[in-house]
Structures are given as structure tokens and as C-alpha cells.
Amino acid sequence: MIQEDFIFYKPCRELQPYVRYYWVFKSNQPLNTLTFPIGCPQIIFHKQTPLYIPELGISQSEFTVSGQVNYHSHLYANGNVEMIVVVFQPYTLKAFLNLPISLLHNQEVSGYDLENKHLKQLAAQILNCENTNLCITIIEQWLLSQIADALTSKTAYNIQRITAAIKQLFAMPATPVTELASVACLGKKQFERMFNELVGANPKEYARIVRFQKSLKLLQHCSEDANQAQLAYQCGYADQSHFIREFKQFSGYTPLSLLNVCKPYSDLFNNPT
């Protein structure tokens, strides 16, 4: 019998500034799906078959930490998939891992390699727990216990600075780095260093991901005869050719050809919960 479930969970109120949502996927069918840069780091628990990523030539660990990526990829599995994923705000994973997120850039890292005993204990609990709702509760309890320490450190203050810059970037993806630094009340070099440490990509690269995700959001409601020049302008691209070139780099398709392959969806500009 074919079984496939996709469920989203909303984080508790205390964690909403740090965690966007959790999602759970279960399937007994072969999986072959295209994925794009979403602009948010993730922690992934595979309770059955981990996913294979041919572009990297690797399978994810049963316990994976995924940093910011700037490429599209395929995800494969032969069946028997059961995964629980924590999707963080773009700038908050450092508060829980206590390491520069720039180290995870374009990486699918095994959580067992991070030398974080508390994180490994969490993985052991989740991978041995058969109740999905209880798994989410365990994850939330762990996150709350970790954030208590982070809130007393300078990390919390730095997060506030970068949060302000990210909000500006979401509103106007073409905002210059010097202006973003001013919003964060930092010098340009200091801002770039802090941004990279918290977000896991430099400001210019992350702005490209934001523009791409914003274009996906607009394409969700467009037809094949959409005005690409207008889409380019709305998303902060210099011109239509710039839009098409960068879109193809991140997705493997031109904006309109993607409409024939799948239904565009923006992970960054939608809240599935």
C-alpha cells in the first residue's frame, strides 16, 4: 500500500524567533525530487533510509546538519523514508551549536562529527523514539535548554543586529552591503564578518539567495506568459537577463521552464505552519 505523509509543526512561542518550523516526511515510495537553496540552515534526523545527493556523491548521515547552500540538487531514496527536520531562522543556528555557521557553507555535515555531546544525546533520543509528536517535544525541550545559555551571551545581541539587516534584505533584496551594515549599526567589514559567522554566507551571496527565493514566491502565482522583466524588477535584479542567469544557476532551469517541471514554491517567503 502506498503511504506518504508530509506534516508541518509550528514551534512554541519562545522558539519562534529562532526556529521557523519543523517538518516530518514519511514515505514507502522511491523518492526523486529537485531541491533549491532555501536560505535557512537545517538539522535533519533520518529514522530510516537517509537521502542520497548525486551532485555531492554522498548520502546524508542519519543525523545531518545542513548549512547554507548556493546550488540546486536532487534528493534520492529507494523508499522507507522517515525524516524529521528542524528549519532554523537564517541567522540563529549558531546560538544552538556554538560554532561559526560559515564552517557549514555548502556542507552536509554529520552531527556526530561536531563534537557536541549534548547534540549527540538529542540525536540518540530522537532516533530511538517511535512517536513523532514526542520527537518534536524532545527537540523543543532541547532547543529551549540551549537557548537559555545563548541568551546570556553576546550572541543574542549579535543576532538582533543581523535580524535587522535580514529584514531589510527581505524587503529590498538589492540593498547595498554598506546600507545593511548601517542598519546593523556596524562597520562594513565587521558586519560582513558577523553576518558570515551567523548566517553561513557572505551578505552578497545571501542576497542572491533571497532574490531567488523571492522570485519563486512570485512565480507561485504566475502563468507561462508572465512578464519576466517585471519579475526581475520586483525581486531586485539588475535586468531580465540577470534574473534568468541567476535563476538558472540556483534551480537548473529558466524561470518559465521551471513552470513545466514543478510548481514553484518559496521556502523562505512562505510559512507552511
pLDDT digits (tens, 9 = 90+) for 211-225: 999 999 999 887 666
Tell me, yes or no, whether 197 lies in a domain: yes
What pLDDT was estimated at residue 77?
93
What pLDDT was estimated at residue 150?
63
Which three cell numbers mark 118? 549534548
Instruction: Indicate whether 161 and 42 sit together in one domain.
Output: no
Instruction: Indicate whether 145 and 158 sit together in one domain.
Output: no
Tell me how far apart the alpha carbons of residues 223 and 91 are, in angstroms, rounded to a whole number: 33
Helices (H), the chain: 94-97, 117-127, 132-150, 154-171, 177-183, 188-199, 203-219, 228-235, 240-251, 255-258
Tell me, yes or no, whether 265 lies in a domain: no
Tell me, yes or no, whether 11 lies in a domain: yes
What pLDDT was estimated at residue 225?
67
* pTM score: 0.94
Give 162: exposed, middle or buried? Use CB within 10 Å, 0-12, 13-18, 19+.
buried
Helix (H) or strand (E) segment spanning residue 26: strand 19-27
Tell me, yes or no, whether 273 lies in a domain: no
What pLDDT was estimated at residue 22?
98
Tell me, yes or no, whether 120 lies in a domain: yes
Instruction: Indicate whether 71 and 184 sit together in one domain.
Output: no
Instruction: Indicate whether 114 and 238 sit together in one domain.
Output: no
Instruction: Indicate whether 197 and 222 sit together in one domain.
Output: no
Tell me how far apart the alpha carbons of residues 99 and 131 are, in angstroms, rounded to a whole number: 31
What pLDDT was estimated at residue 256?
86
Helix axes 203-219, 228-235, angle to 10 degrees: 140
- The number of distinct structural domains making up the chain is 3
Instruction: Indicate whether 49 and 31 sit together in one domain.
Output: yes
Locus of grid cell 543581523? 162
Nearest Cα to 92, choosing from 23, 25, 36, 14?
14
Which three cell numbers mark 122? 538529542
Tell me, yes or no, whether 158 lies in a domain: yes
Tell me, yes or no, whether 134 lies in a domain: yes
Which three cell numbers mark 56? 555531492
Nearest Cα to 105, choosing from 214, 200, 218?
200
Task: List Cα–Cα distances, 40 to 8, 92, 189, 238, in angstroms.
Answer: 16, 9, 23, 24
pLDDT tens string 252-262:
999 989 988 88
Instruction: Indicate whether 16 and 136 sit together in one domain.
Output: yes
Tell me how far apart the alpha carbons of residues 168 and 179 are, in angstroms, rounded to a whole number: 9
Instruction: Indicate whether 120 and 65 sit together in one domain.
Output: yes
What pLDDT was estimated at residue 3?
65
What pLDDT was estimated at residue 163?
95
Instruction: Indicate whether 145 and 11 sit together in one domain.
Output: yes
What pLDDT was estimated at residue 147?
83
Which three cell numbers mark 62? 542519519
CATH code of the domain containing 251: 1.10.10.60
Instruction: Indicate whether 46 and 142 sit together in one domain.
Output: yes
* C-beta of residue 52 within 8 angstroms of C-beta of residue 76: yes
Residues β-bridged to residue 82: 26
Which three cell numbers mark 24? 516530518
Q: How far apart are the first and last CA of the chain?
A: 28
Q: Would you give the DSSP letter of residue 107?
A: -
3-state secondary structure of 49: coil
User: With a cut of 50, which residues of the chain have pLDDT below it?
Assistant: none
Domain of residue 177 covers 154-201
Tell me, yes or no, whether 247 lies in a domain: yes
Instruction: Indicate whether 15 and 38 sit together in one domain.
Output: yes
What pLDDT was estimated at residue 268?
96
Instruction: Indicate whether 63 and 22 sit together in one domain.
Output: yes
Count of other CB atoms within 10 angstroms of residue 192: 17
